[in-house]
Structure 1
Amino acid sequence: MPTPVRPSQAPVIGFPDMGQFWTAANLLSLSRAILVVPIAWLVYRGGPIGPMFGLIGLAIATDWFDGKVARWQGQVSEWGKVLDATADKLAAAAVTLALLTRPETAGPNLPLWFVLLAITRDALLALGGLIQTRRLGHFTSSLWSGKIAVTALALTVVAALLASPEAVLEALIWFTAAVMVYSIVEYTVRFRAILRYGPDALESDGNALRREGER
């Protein structure tokens, strides 16, 4: 009689077929990564506001359209998921670093601990994502806490760029930090469950994730 596989012995499936790289949707994601350079430079200099927000709007448009273009053309791929997430993380790191290091004359800055938290979170999620993708054989979707954290970070950045009142900016910083920490905890719970249970961790009723969260 075969020995049952324990959760800790869940097989490693390996990385998925990444699909086609050079697609219109992926080029949109790549263009967003390129736009990070002039955006970060303008943020560091404190403007001009018009070109800075124009480029930010263009970057947001590429983020909105890349997934839709991929679906319209039937070219949804694992490469697209990687490039989209990477472009977003590069943008967050570059802009928050610019807001940390820019001269005081350029506008309000973000505190060092906050920028380190944002960058560390993204780095941990990227590394954990690679490990769990190898276990599952496909990339996982973002958790709601992660989406809220990204939105809160974007609002904090905009508040800093618009030189919002100090009390407003400080409240956004602490709220965003709390959401980022909470999202790290949630992603850690899912990561541990995937390492222990493999694909069963993402079963529809969520029992595997609940078991891991109760440990």
Structure 2
Amino acid sequence: MSQPAPKLSELGRFWTIPNILSMARLVIILPVTWLIVVDGPLWWIMVLLLLAIATDYFDGRVARWSDQVSDWGKVLDPMADKFGGGFVIAALTYIDALPLWFFLVLAIRDFSILAGGEYLRHKTGQIVASIWVGKIAVTGVAITALAALLKADEPVLLVCIWATVILLVYSFVRYFVRFFGYLRDPSSVQDLA
């Protein structure tokens, strides 16, 4: 039997340091995207991207270290990853630094994962955290974006693109298996991580 999805007020404390770090990542990505599109100074883009990457690195660690793991964090962190990566890759696609098909693979995967997570939340009342292979795929997206920004030689960029596509597809399959496993048996989610 389905449990009602938790209301926003039931997701726990919102204003925690880890959640602020995740939201900062979303804010940082906006000027990065703009600077990429207008061919802004590369050093500014790199500084802001490294700052965004640092917030991604520290938000989960701070949450665990300070005992501030929250359902909000389980929503904000992957959302910041997906929107951040999506905006940067969209900007790089817009300036022809990356192929459109790469952006589409990322966008379809991320939209499907977000939609599946929202469906599970409504169906079971549970908010499911990201899986490690998904975090590795996000790292691949970041490396590919950096390679494109630094105008890496075409063979290097192609290796980054294809390695990231493999990670994106593999992580999507893992999320897909996890999604259906969780629908069959909600207690199995830890076994599928």
The one-letter code matched in structure 2 to 1:87 is: A
* TM, length-normalised to structure 2: 0.88
Does structure 1 residue 76 correspond to structure 2 residue 69?
yes
2:109 to 111, 116, 121: 121
State how far apart, in whole Å, the 1-side matches of 2:68 and 2:132 are: 25
Question: Which residue pairs with 2:172 in the alignment?
Answer: 184
Q: Which moved more, 1:108-117 or 1:71-80?
A: 71-80
Question: Which residue pairs with 1:142 in the alignment?
Answer: 130
SS at match of 1:141: coil
Question: Which residue pairs with 1:49 in the alignment?
Answer: 42
State how far apart, in whole Å, the 1-side matches of 2:18 and 2:181 are: 32
SS at match of 2:185: helix
State how far apart, in whole Å, the 1-side matches of 2:27 and 2:148 are: 22
Q: Which has the larger radius of gyration?
A: 1
Question: Which residue pairs with 2:22 in the alignment?
Answer: 29
Does structure 1 residue 39 correspond to structure 2 residue 32?
yes
* TM, length-normalised to structure 1: 0.79
The answer for unaligned runs of 5 or more in structure 2 is none
| Aligned CA distance change for structure 1 residues 199 and 166 (closer, same or farther; 3 Å) | same
The answer for unaligned runs of 5 or more in structure 1 is 1-10, 103-107, 210-215
Structure 2 counterparts to residues 147-158 of structure 1, below 5 A: 147-158=135-146
| Displacement over 6 Å in runs of 4+ | none
State how far apart, in whole Å, the 2-side matches of 1:74 and 1:147 are: 21
- C-alpha RMSD over aligned residues: 2.1
What is the CA-CA distance between 1:190 and the residue it aligns to?
1.4
The one-letter code matched in structure 1 to 2:98 is: L
What is the CA-CA distance between 1:203 and the residue it aligns to?
5.9
Percent identity for Structure 1 against Structure 2: 44
Total equivalences in the alignment: 190
Does structure 1 residue 15 correspond to structure 2 residue 21?
no
